[in-house]
Amino acid sequence: MQFIDKNIAVLGSGKEGRDVYDWLKTNSRGCRIKVFDKIKAVDLAGFDIVFRSPGFYRYSPMIVKAETAGAIISSATKLFFDQCPAKIIAVTGTKGKGTTTSLIYQILQNDGQSAYIAGNIGKPMLSLLPRLKAGDWVCLELSSFQLQDLTKSPHIAVVLNITSDHLDVHKSTKEYRGAKTSILKYQHPSDHAVLNVDYPVTKKMAVLTPARIHWFSGRRVNLDVTRIKLRGEHNRENIAAAMAAAGLAGVAKENMTEAVFKFKGLEHRLELVRKVNAITFYNDSFSTTPETAIAAIKSFFEPMTIILGGSEKGSDYRRLGRVIVASKNVRNLILIGKTAGKIKAAVSGFSGAIITGLTTMKAVVTIAGKISLPGSVVVLTPACASFDMFTDYQDRGNQFKLWVKKL
């Protein structure tokens, strides 16, 4: 047993921290375990092992100091990779990883294979360990924060488009992208890397892995698109990635196709809420970057009212602004939150209506319903985090859906 008579720090008492603590209670002996629940500087002197939750920055002075003093820096994800007897399919990317991971899981289940889903979705991954067997598949959605500590890579690694994100935490785009590389660089020649051929960043990542490379493209999805429930070109990429990974797991194409046509997507990801007075409302609250908002805009041809804005993540909204100004179907903008002014500056030249100053979701939904014409869509796709007006993106999306249903 690796965890005997050790001083162990668990940073974070949220989902991952509790997962680590619960696992250690059963799988350690004589260890002294202390949980720190606040994201602040703590004294880690004397700890042999430090388990870091995603909310604790990997290169914060306190963690670097502990590592320099000899502490092993770990995480729930690293521990899972070290202990897991099953085959792992892991998905990362700036956006789309939740949809892609869920679709892979649905395809495997539809095929009758023994599959589990964890990471940022599904059950806490360490809680799965007692029931996993060598023939099982575990589908993991992994963020940059979860990948940073890995020294093992998955049997099938799926890398979607990588732009930039979490620049409020990562020091730079380079560091953010570098964190993602752990999904590939510890693979073996018998493993598989499923990479997006449409983007230079992911194409360049092919040199990082000794595994067999499998390219996918959203432009090469050979399916009847009228039967696909997921809207948008970006979801074609997610479908292509999921089908490539599922094929490597031994699923026949006809079984994949059946599962894809059944798949309705995830909550808060271009989620159809309701049609009211011939106006259709979509909840895309999970959109926290300009890139995801652009993808949402490109998913519709109908006249659009877009709800944008929120708390700051250090994003650049200029490209989003250009897309909005050039769009032929964006008619109205409702800008909310701390970034409203920054986004308004980015859409200079926009000829439609711009509404600012609304401070509640009730007011936002009410105005959106009034200014949108029949046949239009109203899309909440904020391009920003939510912490200025809401608890999180789920609270933001749930409030949107609540008030839409009350129209």
Could you report the per-residue pLDDT of 332-347, keeping only the tens digit for each?
999 999 999 999 999 9
Task: Check whether 348 has a pLDDT greater than 70.
Answer: yes
User: What's the start-to-end Cα distance of the chain, in Å?
Assistant: 59
Query: What pairs with residue 281 in β-bridges?
Result: 274, 378
- What backbone phi and psi angles, to 5 degrees, belong to 117? -130, 135
Question: pLDDT band at residue 166, thresholds of 50, 70 and 90?
Answer: very low
Give the model's pLDDT for residue 171. Answer: 55
Task: Indicate if the pLDDT at residue 40 is higher than 80.
Answer: no
Which pLDDT score is estimated for 38?
A: 75
d(CA 341, CA 92): 32
- Cα angle for residues 158, 119, 284 (degrees, 5° grid): 80
Under DSSP, the state recorded for 147 is H
- Tens digit of pLDDT for each residue in 14-39? 899 999 999 999 999 999 999 998 77
Quick check: 136 pLDDT over 70? Answer: yes
Of 339, 332, 329, 326, the residue nearest 383 (C-alpha)? 339
Length of the chain: 407
Give the per-residue pLDDT at 172: 61
Compute the average pLDDT of residues 191-216.
95
Residue 322 carries which side chain, given as an amino acid letter?
Answer: R
- 233-248 helix and 253-262 helix, angle to the nearest 10 degrees: 140
- 86: its two tokens: 């099953």
Q: What's the pLDDT score for residue 163?
A: 67
Condensed to tens digits (0 to 9), the pLDDT of residues 291-304 reads 989 989 999 999 99
Q: Quick one: pLDDT band at residue 192, thresholds 50, 70, 90?
A: very high
The pLDDT of residue 167 = 45
Is 169 a residue whose pLDDT tops 60?
no
The residues, ordered by sequence, that sit 6+ positions from 284 with a Cβ below 8 Å of its Cβ are 268, 269, 270, 271, 292, 293, 296, 379, 380, 381, 382
Average pLDDT of the residues in 184-189: 97
The pLDDT of residue 139 = 98
Token readout for 15 is 């989902």
Name the residue among 185, 227, 226 with its Cα closest to residue 207: 185
Mean pLDDT score, 189-198: 96
Q: Is 123 helix (H, G, I), strand (E, B) or coil?
A: strand
- Write out the two tokens for 256: 């994949």
> What are the percentages of helix, strand and coil residues in the chain, rounded to 5?
40, 20, 40
Residue 72 pLDDT: 96
Spatial separation of the C-alpha atoms in residues 223 and 129, rounded to whole Å: 36
Whole-number Å distance between alpha carbons of 196 and 163: 12
pLDDT at 3: 94
Over residues 277-290, mean pLDDT = 95
207: Cα separation from own chain's centroid:
24
pLDDT at 164: 54
CA–CA separation, 289 and 163 (whole Å): 10
Strands (E), 53-148: 72-74, 87-92, 115-119, 137-141
Domains of the chain in start order, with CATH, are: 7-74 (3.40.50.720), 78-262 (3.40.1190.10), 271-405 (3.90.190.20)
Instruction: Name the nearest CA neighbour of 340 among 291, 306, 367.
Output: 306
Residue type, 210: P
Own/partner long-range contacts of 344-350 (Cβ < 8 Å, ≥24 apart): 345/321, 346/317, 346/318, 346/320, 346/321, 347/321, 348/321, 349/325, 350/321, 350/324, 350/325
* Pairing state between β 32-36 and 271-276: unpaired
Give the chain's mean pLDDT: 92
Predicted local distance difference test score (pLDDT) of residue 120: 82
Cα–Cα dist 358/355, whole Å? 8
Confidence of residue 123 (pLDDT cuts 50, 70, 90): confident
What phi-psi label fits residue 196: left (phi over 0), alpha (psi between -120 and 50 degrees) or beta? beta
DSSP notation for 205-264: GGGG--SEEEEE-GGG--S-GGG--S-SHHHHHHHHHHHHHHHHTT--HHHHHHHHHH--
Q: How far apart are CA 322 and CA 348, in angstroms?
A: 9
- 56 pLDDT more than 80: yes
How confident is the model at residue 170, as a pLDDT?
A: 46
Q: Answer yes or no: is pLDDT of 173 > 70.
A: no
pTM of the model: 0.80
Q: Express as a percent the part of the chain with pLDDT over 70.
A: 96
| Closest alpha carbon to 187 in 285, 89, 108, 70 | 89
Q: Residue 380 corresponds to which amino acid?
A: L
Task: Please give the residue that has the higher pLDDT: either 164 or 162.
Answer: 162
> What is the reported pLDDT for 215?
97
Q: What is the pLDDT of residues 90-120, one digit of tens each?
A: 999 877 899 999 999 999 999 999 999 998 8
pLDDT at 149: 82
